């Protein structure tokens, strides 16, 4: 890997604790923080490193207890990004540079097809390969039926039912756990992500908690992001659970939405008119026909419309914010011009 900056070495972020990082370099693991210059140049939160990122860093010499310094972020091959909570128009990188994204949901009362579709939008947008894991299969009355439902809601995406408790389904996951592959595990709180990590690792890498009484939901365990090495050489990243994933599409690209709802997109391509709105008044609408004969689930179509509107709204807000935002470089140029104007005015006054 080419560093591009003399004296710095490539390193990978393996854990993140607020604004403090742990990185792995050729010389070993080090606690690190970004430099002041890095913070000055960063214009948004997605510019900061996340677990899985490759960075250029200066690391302390052997015996030196000081922290490493992160100077630059290398280009990401993939990134799972969600919108920051609240009114702030910014994204948060949940995981970076992963080959596979395991989207997990439990096969109990927490099972929710619409939530899976929502995660798939973000997964396809991330640039990684999504895989749906249905955990706690031992709790399901009819796991095969739930698998079929998810396969219908996730066309083209591998779906696996697993149970760490009963040690079932591990062989299905081995092809993803090849040496050097990076896998991120995402899903709602309490679906068994930490249990899954411990099961795949064959050891207690993460502390787990039991299922809460009353609603079958596991207690939230993971409070930070971390990258673990599995026995076969793959890297697995656990992430804190998210009850609600607010979609974020930083480029206004439809790829994630189209990937998650590829069946509806394919239906729409068969409509008589290319600008079909799929309303009741449209003639020759393939989507309307599929809804009428039950080929297309009405709930899935509503989620397709809802997530599409949400992404469009995010894109509009971001474009508006971009027009109002002054970058650090623009700010420095403006300050320089103001100083020149002030100096010129003083000179003319004298």
Dihedral pair phi/psi, residue 342, rounded to 5°: -65, -40
Separation of alpha carbons 346 and 340, rounded Å: 10
Give the pLDDT of residue 205: 56
Separation of alpha carbons 206 and 238, rounded Å: 9
Give the pLDDT of residue 171: 93
Name all domains of the chain by residue range, CATH numbers in brackets: 9-73 (2.40.50.140), 79-238 (3.40.50.300), 255-324 (1.10.40.50)
Give the pLDDT of residue 215: 42
- Helices and strands, number each (H, E), in the chain: 10, 13
Dihedral pair phi/psi, residue 236, rounded to 5°: -120, 130
Give the pLDDT of residue 347: 44
Give the pLDDT of residue 90: 65
- Residue-wise pLDDT for 154-202, tens only, equals 988 999 999 988 999 999 999 999 999 999 998 877 667 778 888 988 8
Measure the CA dihedral 230/235/236/237, to 10°.
140
Measure the CA dihedral 80/116/121/100, to 10°.
40
- pTM of the entire structure? 0.73
**DSSP assignments along 57-81, one per residue:** EE-PPTT--SPEEEEEEPPPS-EEE
- Residue-wise pLDDT for 245-261, tens only, equals 555 454 544 466 777 78
Among positive and negative, which fits the CA dihedral 298, 301, 305, 311? Answer: positive
DSSP code at position 52: T
Give the pLDDT of residue 269: 87
Residue 60 CB neighbour total at 10 angstroms: 15
**DSSP assignments along 181-250, one per residue:** -EEEEEESTTSSHHHHHHHHHTS--S----BPTTT-PBPP---SEEEEE-TTS-EEEE----SS--B--T
Point out the residues of the chain with pLDDT beneath 70.
1-6, 84-90, 190-191, 203-224, 240-256, 280-281, 313-350
Give the pLDDT of residue 22: 95
């Amino acid at each position: 890997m080419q560093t591009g900056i003399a004296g710095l070495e490539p390193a990978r972020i393996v854990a993140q604790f607020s604004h403090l990082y742990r990185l792995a370099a050729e010389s070993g693991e080090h606690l690190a923080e970004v430099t002041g210059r890095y913070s000055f140049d960063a214009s948004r939160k997605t510019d900061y490193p996340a677990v899985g990122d490759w960075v250029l860093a200066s690391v302390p010499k052997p015996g030196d207890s000081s922290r490493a310094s992160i100077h630059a972020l290398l280009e990401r091959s993939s990134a799972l990004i969600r919108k920051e909570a609240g009114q702030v128009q910014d994204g948060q990188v949940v995981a970076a540079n992963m080959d596979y994204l395991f989207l997990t949901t439990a096969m109990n009362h927490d099972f929710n097809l619409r939530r899976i579709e929502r995660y798939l939008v973000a997964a396809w947008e991330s640039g990684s390969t999504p895989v749906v894991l249905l955990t706690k299969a031992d709790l399901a009355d009819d796991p095969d039926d739930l698998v079929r439902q998810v396969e219908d809601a996730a066309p083209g995406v591998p779906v696996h039912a697993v149970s760490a408790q009963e040690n079932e389904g591990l062989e299905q996951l081995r092809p993803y756990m090849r040496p050097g592959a990076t896998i991120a595990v995402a899903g709602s709180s309490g679906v068994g992500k930490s249990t899954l990590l411990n099961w795949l690792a064959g050891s207690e890498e993460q502390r787990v908690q039991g299922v809460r009484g009353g609603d079958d939901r596991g207690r939230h365990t993971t409070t930070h992001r971390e990258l673990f090495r599995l026995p076969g050489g793959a890297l697995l990243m656990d992430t804190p659970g998210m009850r609600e994933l607010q979609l974020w599409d930083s480029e206004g690209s439809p790829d994630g939405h189209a990937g998650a709802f590829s069946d509806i997109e394919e239906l729409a391509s068969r409509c008589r008119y290319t600008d079909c709105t799929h309303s009741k008044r449209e003639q020759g609408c393939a989507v309307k026909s599929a809804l009428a004969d039950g080929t297309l689930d009405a709930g899935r179509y509503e989620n397709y419309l809802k997530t599409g509107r949400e992404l469009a709204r995010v894109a509009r807000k971001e474009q508006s914010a971009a027009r109002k935002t002054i970058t650090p470089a623009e700010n420095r140029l403006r300050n320089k011009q103001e100083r020149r104007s002030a100096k010129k005015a003083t000179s003319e006054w004298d």
